[in-house]
Amino acid sequence: MSHGLCFLLLLMVYNCSCVFAADSDAVGRVKIINGPVYILRGAEQSAAKIDMKIVRNDILLTGKQGSMGIVFNDNSTLSLGPDTKFQLASYEFNALEKKAGFVGQIRRGTMIYLSGLIARMNADATRFETPVAVAGVRGTKLAIKVEGGDNE
């Protein structure tokens, strides 16, 4: 049964990756890199480089000595410390269509987020999910540390 579930999950991940691989709209860019840092996009993992584009659903991974900094289209910034796994679950920023939202999932490691224009457009549209709770961020700076989370 658990194998069946795993298969189902894999299938879901696989299907999602196809959808999002097609969605190449950059929502942010890598600005700072130290040590080993990777971007997992669908099934493809690549070493992150300065100015590399971030798209929705990307998983950002830092190694034991790694850290990285990202600037998003709405001028919000995110930095990740070592041994961190972070997924950009959702990102909407379109002033003309009045769409704004930011959802990040941190499975392990450390992060610091500084809000930008999304928070000004919609104060209740930014949140970060950890294995134990969800943080709703209203126009400010937040640091999160997750210990003993996802070890994949």
Partner 1 sequence: MNNHVRCLLMSLPMLLFALCGCSSPRSKFVLLSSPDGHVGNVTVANKTGEIHLAKPFESIDLFYPDERPSQPVIMTEAEFNSTFKDALAAQPTAPLTFLLYFEPGTSRLTPESEKILPVIIDYIRKVHSSDISISGHSDKVGSRDINIRISRERANEIANQLTRLGVAPESLEVASHGMELPLIDTPEGVPEPRNRRVELVVR
**Would you tell me which residues interact with partner 1 (CB under 8 A)?**
29, 31-32, 34, 51, 67-71, 75, 77, 79-82, 95-96, 107-108, 110-112, 114-116, 119, 130-152
Contact of 115 with 124, CB cutoff 8 Å: no
**Residues 6+ positions from 55 with CB-CB distance below 8 Å:** 20, 23, 24, 25, 26, 27, 41, 88
- Of 88 and 144, CB closest to partner 1: 144
Q: Where are the alpha helices (DSSP H) in 25-116?
A: none
User: Closest approach of Cβ 109 to partner 1, in Å?
Assistant: 8
- Of 56 and 107, CB closest to partner 1: 107
User: Closest approach of Cβ 18 to partner 1, in Å?
Assistant: 27
Q: How far apart are CA 23 and CA 94, in angstroms?
A: 15
- Of 22 and 96, CB closest to partner 1: 96
Phi, psi of 151 (to 5 degrees): -100, 10
Tokens of 118: 């999304």
User: Closest approach of Cβ 101 to partner 1, in Å?
Assistant: 16
User: Closest approach of Cβ 76 to partner 1, in Å?
Assistant: 9
- Of 87 and 110, CB closest to partner 1: 110
CA angle, 54 then 58 then 62, to 5°: 90
